Amino acid sequence: METRSTTGKMIRQARGVEPADCVLKNCRLIDVFCGEIVPADVAICGEQIAGIGEYSGVEEIDCKGAYVCPGFMEGHIHIESSMLAPEQFTHTVSPHGTTTVICDPHEIANVAGIGGVNFILRESAGLLCSFYVMAPSCVPATHLETSGATLDSGEMAKILQFPRVIGVAEMMNFPGVLFEDGEVLQKLLLGKEMNVPVDGHAPGLAGKDLQAYIGSGIRSDHECTTATEAREKLRSGMFLFIREGSTAKNLTALLPAVTAKNSHRCLLVTDDCHPHDLLVDGHLDRIIRKAVTFGLDPVTAIQMVTINVANYFDLKDRGAVAPGYRADLVLFDDLTDIRPKLVFSGGKQVVEKNCLRSTSKEELAEKYPELFDSVHVDVKKISFSIPVKGEKVRGIRVIKDQLITEAKELPVKIVDGMAVADPENDIIKLAVIERHKNSGNIGLGFVQGLGLQRGALASTVGHDSHNITVVGVDDRDMTLAVEAVVDHGGGLAVVADGRILASLPLPIAGLMSICGAQEVAAGFSSLLHAAQGLGVLIEDPFMLMSFLSLPVIPHLKMTDIGLVDVDAFKHVGLWV
């Protein structure tokens, strides 16, 4: 906490009256304000930057001409998608230069409500990486599915009063905005009343509907898939969040929309990122490298994960290397291939000896009992049988690297009066099973494009209500896969020929592990290997599966209540 005494000390060190606590000497400083690179020393006083120029310090680090830029800031992520608890996530991304994370705990809130939000806030307190939270606005995301919790505008108002909650998270229910749903509008008004940013989520929205959506107070979007869509949203006053995650990869398509004149309105974000990708390829540093490879100016790319983020979220103490700013710093040698070699967070160097706090599963379960008892399904009562009622069904066709799906009329294979999987034509069964209230709800249908030739895959990660999603060729294997994830209290499983080939327990709300990134990544790698052995063509089928049940992204999705025509925003029958 800054006091008159600490401010006085910083003033003395900035003036050179006394040596700085630490000085990074011989730097090439990335000036994100002016978009320039200047030679300078960086003087650090406690958690803040005292000054830039020529300084001496108690500790001096010769950077030998290395570049120094602000710590990277993640503007939009659901850390639940990493399957890591906050501390494990921090331990993984901090060495890659990430020093600030603005997360939307939308996923865990859909399972456990305010209890889930509190878990993220409490477990992220005091970490080297600064965590800020956006108040989830869509719990449940829609009326078209069954979630584990409901957060109305009154509960959202309470969350917005919590420390480190800095805005209203993505308003996914854009039809609710356009049709003037009372609760939706009240949530948007909370953002206006508290003068905090309100994030958007409006895939494909254009024209007057887009104008109305933005006019309601929403200021950003991370769902653009074309440069044309991105330009329209930028021109209409939105901040453009360019997403490059583990499944949705929009960077290549959207970079043509970024210019020298509008780049200050653009951010690079991940949205969802799996542990293997974080460990092998990095976090925001990975996106910067890719953007630079595609021709984006390196300094502009850095601005899009530093000062642009700070400006959008009104975080005035970070995002730049300048006097009085938080000493979040990244050092690297090559401007065209940015790979952090030294990272400071609040003036402290991020090193391997920054040990993890030791918290057991038992301790966490005692603190957050509702998170460790979140899967309630009577597997014996589940049936995946689909009686024939026609010749064709409405099927979901997946698109590689996209969350958008196609709606297709698919012919069905019939055996003994039942519609069954047809792996020869890449048509397999899809089911979404309600797992919060043991209601017995199950949505049944077919999906094309995964490539699965035998067996089944199941997961308790199913955006956004996180019911159990299972795909398969064989009903018995589908049942066994569901049993496996239920027995683990949540998780992922691959099954074939009546055997569990691989599984990964996710006991925290059925979304997150208690283990470290290395162990989670290894387990997830085993799942992917097993899935590929069954013919799966998608690089990450579990991430893609998790979005098959998200009824706010076009065009056809499945929930525990049945098929959803997202464009019409209503349930539709399976049979054509």
Residue pLDDT, tens place only, 305-348: 999 999 999 999 999 999 999 999 999 999 999 999 999 999 99
Query: Among candidates 285, 250, 279, 227, which has minimal Cα distance to 98?
Result: 285
Output the tens digit of pLDDT for each of the chain's 576 residues.
Answer: 678 888 999 999 999 999 999 999 999 999 999 999 999 999 999 999 999 999 999 999 999 999 999 999 999 999 999 999 999 999 999 999 999 999 999 999 999 999 999 999 999 999 989 999 999 999 998 889 999 999 999 999 999 999 999 999 999 888 889 999 999 999 999 999 999 999 999 999 999 999 999 999 999 999 999 999 999 999 999 999 999 998 789 999 999 999 999 999 999 999 999 898 999 999 999 999 999 999 999 999 999 999 999 999 999 999 999 999 999 999 999 999 999 999 999 999 997 655 566 667 788 888 999 999 999 999 999 999 999 999 999 999 998 777 789 999 999 999 999 999 999 999 999 999 999 999 999 999 999 999 999 999 999 999 889 999 999 999 999 999 999 999 999 999 999 999 999 999 999 999 999 999 999 999 999 999 999 999 999 988 998 999 999 998 889 999 999 999 998 989 999 999
* Per-residue confidence (pLDDT) for residue 173, from 0 to 100: 86
Closest among 253, 230, 242, 224 to 284, alpha carbons compared: 242
- How many angstroms separate the CA atoms of 231 and 263, rounded? 11
Which CA distances in Å does 100 have to 31, 86, 108, 188, 421? 19, 12, 20, 25, 46
Q: Are 388 and 418 in contact (CB under 8 A)?
A: yes
Architecture of 72-317 per CATH? Alpha-Beta Barrel (3.20)
Q: Which residues pair with 361 in a beta bridge?
A: none
Q: Where are the beta strands (DSSP E) in 122-216?
A: 130-135, 165-171, 198-200
Residue 539 DSSP class? S
19-77 tens-digit pLDDT: 999 999 999 999 999 999 999 999 999 999 999 999 999 999 999 999 999 999 999 99
pLDDT at 346: 97
Burial 393-413 (b: 16+ CB within 10 A, else e): bbbbbbeebbbbbebbebebe
Please state, in angstroms and rounded to a whole number, the distance separating the CA atoms of residues 341 and 123.
Answer: 27
Domain residues of the chain, as ranges?
72-317, 371-571
Q: Is the pTM of this model over 0.85?
A: yes
CB 137 within 8 A of CB 143: no
| The Cα angle at residue 545 between residues 542 and 548, in degrees rounded to 5 | 160
Model confidence pLDDT, tens digit, residues 398-424: 987 777 899 999 999 999 999 999 999
Angle, vertex CA 107, rays to CA 103 and CA 108, nearest 5: 95
Residue 353: predicted pLDDT: 55
Q: CB 437: neighbour CB atoms within 10 A? A: 12
Q: How many angstroms separate the CA atoms of 33 and 35, rounded?
A: 6
Helix (H, G, I), strand (E, B) or coil at 84: strand
Whole-number pLDDT of residue 357: 64
Cβ–Cβ under 8 Å, residues 439 and 492? no
CB-count burial class (<10 Å; 0-12, 13-18, 19+) for 468: buried
* Separation between Cα atoms, residue 96 and residue 339, nearest integer Å: 7
Which pLDDT does position 356 carry in this prediction? 62
Helix (H) or strand (E) holding 419: strand 418-420
